[in-house]
């Protein structure tokens, strides 16, 4: 490949990498501004596992109840709750569910609930999760024989669209061995299974109410995530939390004590790392392209010193000299940029799988990248062009 061809290839690769980096940076920005459905500011969390060898399921729930009561009494803690799983990294459970007042039609949604978080008291209040209709769980529900459940907006729109969801019923499984649960509230949609994932159907079950009802699945209430809403910094709160946990059960360790913002950051770690990596490669490719353009034009100016000197001696305007040399460099840039854009469109499907909230052909990103590359190329072209315009014809002609 000749030198101009190499420069065109470098520019084309730079365009592809810089556009890819720009799209991924936009993706990370979009992900960080996704409405997760709850207020993660001032939330801290940790997980702990009560071993089944030491407790029956109901005793495990009672252990967490005692722990939450003690944590709520800690100065600076405004709320405390516990749950199985943790948004936005909760695994899909996808349980078949008998939905009352819903008739399956061919092509319609099947009777299945994707997420069924088991939560404890003060869950919605602590998480800062709005109840958009009805109510959340209350202390009076604990002693009630009527089992209650809170569902999300997506579930209502999927199975009870146009109907009042309050008072509707659902049953896990399609058998009389399982009881009916009555909907008492509708919670705002939450990104349970990933910030970049579509919101699924959710049904929240109140562990405190099911304490003595033999409705536990294997391992339920063993591994739980405790969440606190607090104004205290993590470092000053940690010793107090450790002491309270030891007082509740000295054999149970605290795992991954961290802020909810850290949980959120970890959930978008992959796209952020890809954006950082591609940005580094894009910067390197852009630098190499600029150096290449500069080197080619410097070589061309050196080869044409006599010609340029004669033209200046005959009265050629120095600005024209700059313009002609810059045209040669920018022409290579434009050709390489066109090839790079074609490459981006050719990789459309591959790039789209990595993006969120932005299209591979996003006009704003493409425009910013093209303008940036043209500006870098213009600077790389201008330096040798300016030096050429400063040639002294007397010196050049004497050299020859």
| Of the listed ranges 53-62, 211-220, 274-283, the one predicted with least confidence | 211-220
Q: What is the DSSP letter of 173?
A: B
What is the average pLDDT across 353-377?
88
Q: What is the pLDDT of residue 394?
A: 65
Task: Tell me if 95 sits within 8 A of 112, measured CB to CB.
Answer: yes
Q: For residue 198, what is the DSSP state?
A: P
CA distance 321 to 315: 11
> Which letter, b or e, does each residue of 5-23 get, where b requires 16 or more Cβ atoms within 10 Å of its Cβ?
eebbbbbbbbbbbbbbbbb
Taking only the tens place, the pLDDT of each residue in 223-238 is 789 999 999 999 999 9
Residue range 96-117: average pLDDT?
A: 88
Whole-number percent of the chain with pLDDT over 70: 89
Q: What is the mean pLDDT of residues 35-49?
A: 92
pLDDT of residue 177: 75
Averaged pLDDT for residues 7-34: 89
pLDDT of residue 289 exceeding 90? no
- pLDDT tens digits along 115-171: 999 999 999 999 999 999 999 999 899 888 889 999 999 999 999 999 999 999 999
Contacts with 285 (C-beta within 8 Å, 6 or more apart), sequence order: 10, 13, 14, 17, 18
Q: Residue 284 has which token pair? A: 């390197």
Domain ranges of the chain: 3-33+269-399, 51-251
Are 197 and 191 in contact by the 8 Å Cβ rule? The answer is yes
pLDDT of residue 218: 40
Sort strands 77-83 and 148-152 into parallel, antiparallel or unpaired. Answer: unpaired
Which pLDDT does position 138 carry in this prediction?
Answer: 93
Prediction pTM value: 0.80
pLDDT tens digit sequence for 192-224: 988 988 899 999 999 888 765 554 444 455 678
Q: How many CB atoms lie within 10 A of CB 216?
A: 18
């Amino acid at each position: 490949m000749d030198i101009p061809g190499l420069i065109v290839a470098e520019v084309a690769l730079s365009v592809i990498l810089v556009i890819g980096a720009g799209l991924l940076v936009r993706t990370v920005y979009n992900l960080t501004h996704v409405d997760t459905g709850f207020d993660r500011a001032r939330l801290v969390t940790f997980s702990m596992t009560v071993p089944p060898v030491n407790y029956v399921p109901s005793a495990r729930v009672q252990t967490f109840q005692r722990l939450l009561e003690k944590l709520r009494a800690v100065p600076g803690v405004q709320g405390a709750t516990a749950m199985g799983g943790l948004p936005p990294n909760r695994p899909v459970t996808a349980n078949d569910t008998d939905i009352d007042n819903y008739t399956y039609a061919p092509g319609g949604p099947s009777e299945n609930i994707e997420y069924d978080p088991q939560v404890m008291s003060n869950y919605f209040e602590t998480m800062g999760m709005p109840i958009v209709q009805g109510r959340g769980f209350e202390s009076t529900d604990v002693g009630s024989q009527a089992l209650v459940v809170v569902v999300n907006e997506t579930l209502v729109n999927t199975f009870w669209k146009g109907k009042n969801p309050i008072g509707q019923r659902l049953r896990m499984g399609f058998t009389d061995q399982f009881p009916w649960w009555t909907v008492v509230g509708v919670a705002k949609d939450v990104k349970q299974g990933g910030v970049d994932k579509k919101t699924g159907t959710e049904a929240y079950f109140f562990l405190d109410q099911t304490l003595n009802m033999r409705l536990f699945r294997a391992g339920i209430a063993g591994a739980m995530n405790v969440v606190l809403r607090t104004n205290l910094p993590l470092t000053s709160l940690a010793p107090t939390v450790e002491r309270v946990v030891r007082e509740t059960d000295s054999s149970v360790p605290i795992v991954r004590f961290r802020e909810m913002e850290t949980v959120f950051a970890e959930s978008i770690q992959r796209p952020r790392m890809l954006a950082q990596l591609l940005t580094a490669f894009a910067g390197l490719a852009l630098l190499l392209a600029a150096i290449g353009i500069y080197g080619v034009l410097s070589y061309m100016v050196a080869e044409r010193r006599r010609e340029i000197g004669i033209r200046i001696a005959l009265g050629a305007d120095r600005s024209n000299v700059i313009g002609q040399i810059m045209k040669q460099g920018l022409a290579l840039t434009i050709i390489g940029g066109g090839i790079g854009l074609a490459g981006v469109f050719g990789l459309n499907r591959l790039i789209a799988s990595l993006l969120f909230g932005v299209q591979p052909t996003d006009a704003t990103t493409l425009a910013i990248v093209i303008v940036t590359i043209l500006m870098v190329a213009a600077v790389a072209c201008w330096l040798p062009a300016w030096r050429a315009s400063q040639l002294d014809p007397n010196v050049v002609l004497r050299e020859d």
